[in-house]
């Protein structure tokens, strides 16, 4: 499942990419651009804009309306409406910045790319083949994991 996310939901776009879903996002997206790319690339629209949501649905496009709330609420709504899994898979995560599939790189290569106190502390590093950014599961991952756990606890048990 692929997504296109409206300009108000940058956090949601970054999350969907980290979770491995092909997600288009731009701060400058116009509604018509979102509708066009949703149709041509078979993407689900994620939006906080009721007008865009209703227009998209009338045109037969798949869309999820996000009520104002926390990122946890947003992910829960998307999971319930689309059936996607909210799980982190190290082998299929995407660059939160540019949506490109990340590649796990050998630790030796990472050591040449990140500060030494980071290189020695972590074992798994990802690199974006497009924008060159390097990622690791730093201290903010505790928060990310607790949000993932909490979303899964709130999903129905048959899910
Ligand atoms: Zn990138």
Element housing 121 (H / E) = helix 116-121
Cα 135 to averaged position of ligand 1 atoms, centre (Å): 10
Cα 101 to averaged position of ligand 1 atoms, centre (Å): 8
Query: To 10 degrees, the CA torsion angle through 135, 87, 139, 153?
Result: 170
Question: In this structure, how many other beta carbons lie within 10 angstroms of the beta carbon of residue 58?
Answer: 8
Cα 40 to averaged position of ligand 1 atoms, centre (Å): 23
Residue 101, beta-bridge partner list: 94
Whether residue 118 sits in one domain with residue 73 = no
If phi > 0 it is left, if psi is from -120 to 50 it is alpha, else beta; for residue 34 that is alpha
What's the CA gap between 120 and 151, in Å, rounded? 32
Cα 94 to averaged position of ligand 1 atoms, centre (Å): 8
Three-state SS sequence of 49-116: CHHHHHHHHHCCCCEEECCCCCHHHHHHHHHHHHCCCCCCCHHHCECCCCCCECEEECHHHHHCCCCH
Q: Whole-model pTM?
A: 0.95
Cα 98 to averaged position of ligand 1 atoms, centre (Å): 4
Residues in the chain: 159
Cα 89 to averaged position of ligand 1 atoms, centre (Å): 17
Cα 102 to averaged position of ligand 1 atoms, centre (Å): 8
pLDDT at 157: 74
Residue 150 inside a domain? The answer is no
Chunk the chain into consecutive blocks of 10 residues (it has 159) and report each block's average pLDDT, rounded to whole numbers.
96 98 95 97 97 97 96 97 96 97 96 93 96 94 95 84
Whether residue 124 sits in one domain with residue 77 = no
pLDDT at 139: 87
Element housing 17 (H / E) = helix 10-18
pLDDT at 159: 56
Cα 18 to averaged position of ligand 1 atoms, centre (Å): 11
Cα 23 to averaged position of ligand 1 atoms, centre (Å): 12
pLDDT at 133: 96
Residue 24 inside a domain? The answer is yes
Whether residue 103 sits in one domain with residue 53 = no
Number of domains making up the chain: 2
Domain assignment of residue 104, given as a range: 92-138
């Amino acid at each position: 499942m692929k997504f296109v996310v409206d300009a108000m939901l940058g956090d949601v776009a970054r999350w969907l990419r980290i979770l491995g879903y092909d997600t288009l996002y731009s701060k400058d997206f116009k509604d018509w651009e979102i509708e066009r790319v949703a149709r041509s690339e078979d993407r689900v629209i994620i939006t906080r804009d009721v007008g865009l949501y209703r227009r998209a649905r009338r045109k037969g496009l798949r869309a999820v309306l996000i009520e104002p709330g926390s990122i946890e609420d947003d992910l829960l709504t998307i999971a319930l409406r689309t059936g996607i899994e909210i799980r982190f898979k190290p082998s299929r995560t995407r660059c939160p910045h540019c949506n490109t599939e990340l590649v796990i790189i050998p630790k030796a290569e990472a050591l040449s790319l990140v500060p030494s106190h980071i290189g020695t502390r972590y074992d798994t590093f990802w690199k974006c083949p497009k924008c060159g950014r390097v990622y690791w599961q730093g201290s903010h991952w505790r928060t990310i994991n607790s949000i993932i756990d909490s979303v899964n606890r709130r999903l129905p048990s048959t899910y």
